[in-house]
Amino acid sequence: MLFVGEPVAPPMAAQIIAVPTTHQERVFSRLALGIPLRGGGSVARRRRRCALDLLKHGFTKKGNVMKKGINYDTGFLPGDQFSRKVFDAETVRREMRVIADDLHCQAIRVSGDDPARLSVAAQEAAEAGLEVWFAPFPVDLPDQDTLAFFTDCAERAEAVRRGGAEVVFVTGCEYTTFGHGYLPGDTYTERMDAMMAGLTWLDSLNTTKGRFNAFLAESAETVRSLFNGRITYASGSWEFVDWAPFDLVGVDAYRTAYNADTFVEEMRGHFKHGKPVVVTEFGTCAWRGAAEQGGAAMLVPEGAVPDEGEQVRYFEEMMDIFEKENVDAAFWFSFAGYALQGAADIGSYGVVRMLDATRWEPKAVFHAMATRHARGRAEA
């Protein structure tokens, strides 16, 4: 949806041009033009919340203000490594309210390997007024099993979308590492070990990139046959992705010591595809020096010094970059590291510290995020 000039207030609704494309924009248009909103109960409340949020923020001539989001884990990884053993709807409902009302996030990427859990989290997020990024996270599955997984999830995501929420489908994450058959190693841990050991794995990546992109295209086609919203993929920085089948360019954007000098240039490079760019992940852990490790910060060295300020500094600096570069949305990784409780939280990217399987306390980055997002809304 395109607006002329500076951020628009309701009296300027006549300046709306083009056709509203997303659910939130359609709702905004109806409210701005005085057309009653359809629906009752929680659906109507959610629609009004979306509309009022847009009325408060407005639009600029460049489009939407960058959406502020966060990742939310429903559980993934095989066997004893499973990341979230305790999961119930009431806890999810409470945490979605915290994310929407206390952290002032506008969008959430719900990820995991259990379709039923994803449905619960997506529905609770929608009820809280959040834009839902439905993100199945297959690990160590053959391609055909992954497609069957996406088929199930696409039907579930479409059900949430038809209920009135804005939903984006994310067709996996860093699939060359978490998927089977594109890098050396039978399991994701073996593939990650190979990536950490040297650069010989790049030869395999160059050999398989054609088959990799063919699979991504098949994934997008499979999802589109069942899901009528936008589609993207959460890519790793080492992956050569053909973005033609997708609506959005999705990147897991971790600034580290080795790419700090070129990070902004790398971000700008993603816009060459002519599509909105979304940061599907960014973040770090709460120990001194973690920001220099990027996506490997969970590998905490012996003697690491706890430092919650590390996360705060990284969050603020990265948000400044993403907003300046006109990123469409950015999702901090993550709300919580549910399996990393107590002292083990030092290896978690979460904005909360898990005390046990369900109880947590906010960390410094939680308050920094809440303050920044609230300030952004007040200034809009």
Residue 303 to residues 32, 129, 288, 298, Cα–Cα distance (Å): 57, 42, 10, 14
Q: Would strands 67-73 and 329-332 be described as parallel, antiparallel, or unpaired?
A: parallel
The span from the CA of 278 to the CA of 253, in Å, is 9
pLDDT (0 to 100) of residue 198 = 87
pLDDT for position 376: 78
Residues 215 and 374: their CA atoms lie apart, in Å, by 40
Residue 40 confidence (pLDDT) = 46
Identify each DSSP E strand in the chain by its residue range.
Answer: 67-73, 107-112, 131-136, 167-173, 230-234, 249-252, 277-282, 329-332, 352-354, 360-362
CB atoms within 10 A of CB 154: 25
**What single letter denotes the amino acid at residue 181?**
G
Residue-wise pLDDT tens digits, 167-206: 999 999 999 999 999 999 999 999 999 998 888 899 999 9
State residue 64's pLDDT score.
59
What is the model's pTM? 0.85
What fold characterizes domain 66-379? TIM Barrel (3.20.20)
The domain spans of the chain are: 1-64, 66-379
The rounded distance, in Å, linking the Cα atoms of 352 and 99 is 11
pLDDT at residue 152, as a whole number? 98
CA-to-CA distance for 43 and 25, rounded, in angstroms? 16
CA within 13 Å, CB half, 275: 17
Q: From residue 156, give the alpha-carbon distance in Å to each of 122, 144, 171, 306, 356.
A: 9, 19, 14, 40, 30
Query: Which among 309, 321, 360 is positioned nearest to 338, based on CA atoms?
Result: 360
Tokens for 348, please give them.
């978690």
**Cis before 348? omega within 30:** no
Tokens of 229: 């919203």
CA 118 – CA 134 distance, rounded (Å): 7
Mind listing the pLDDT tens digit for each residue in 338-364?
Answer: 999 999 999 999 999 999 999 999 999
pLDDT of res. 329:
98
List the chain pLDDT tens, one digit each, 380 residues: 222 222 223 332 222 223 334 444 444 333 333 334 444 454 444 444 544 444 433 333 345 589 999 999 999 999 999 999 999 999 999 999 999 999 999 999 999 999 999 999 999 999 999 999 999 999 999 999 999 999 999 999 999 999 999 999 999 999 999 999 999 999 999 999 999 888 889 999 999 999 999 999 999 999 999 999 999 999 999 999 999 999 999 999 999 999 999 999 999 999 999 999 999 999 999 999 999 999 999 999 999 999 999 999 999 999 999 999 999 999 999 999 999 999 999 999 999 999 999 999 999 999 999 999 999 777 76
